[in-house]
Amino acid sequence: MGKVALEGIEFHAYHGVFSEENKLGNRFTVDIHVETDFKKAMLEDKLGDTVDYVGLYKIAQSHMQEPVKLLEHLAHLMIKDIISAFPSIKSVSITIKKHNPALGGVVNYSVVTVTYPADYE
């Protein structure tokens, strides 16, 4: 068993409950952590035997382009597609940070983390 991760993926996107967020957008950072068995990839040096970083990135990118209200829902959609694309995955954790959320004070990020399978049981 091993872990594959992409950390600090940055996007400008239009997620949020408030109309200003949907018009102006905001900066988001996404971290994806995947646990899988990549023993065969270690031994045979073939990309098809592990989780491809490009595939993970493209899934995150496609979902960041489709506005939703809640970051929890956004993470769930990403997890569904990651599990579908890479059926050998044992667990996935998605962390999404919204930079400088408009809360009336100084806040660096609002943060949501969703983990499969734990949050799905």
Identified catalytic residue from 23, 39, 97, 98: 98
Strands 91-99 and 109-116: antiparallel
Residue 69 bears catalytic tag:
no
What mean pLDDT is predicted for residues 9-14?
Answer: 97
Q: How far apart are CA 91 and CA 79, in angstroms?
A: 9
Ordered DSSP codes for 29-57: EEEEEEEE--HHHHHH--GGGS--HHHHH
Instruction: Look up the CATH number of domain 2-120.
Output: 3.30.1130.10
| pLDDT single digits (tens) 88-121 | 899 999 999 999 888 889 999 999 999 999 888 7
Q: What is the mean pLDDT of residues 17-38?
A: 92
Question: Average pLDDT, stretch 49-75?
Answer: 96
**Percent above pLDDT 70 for the chain:** 99
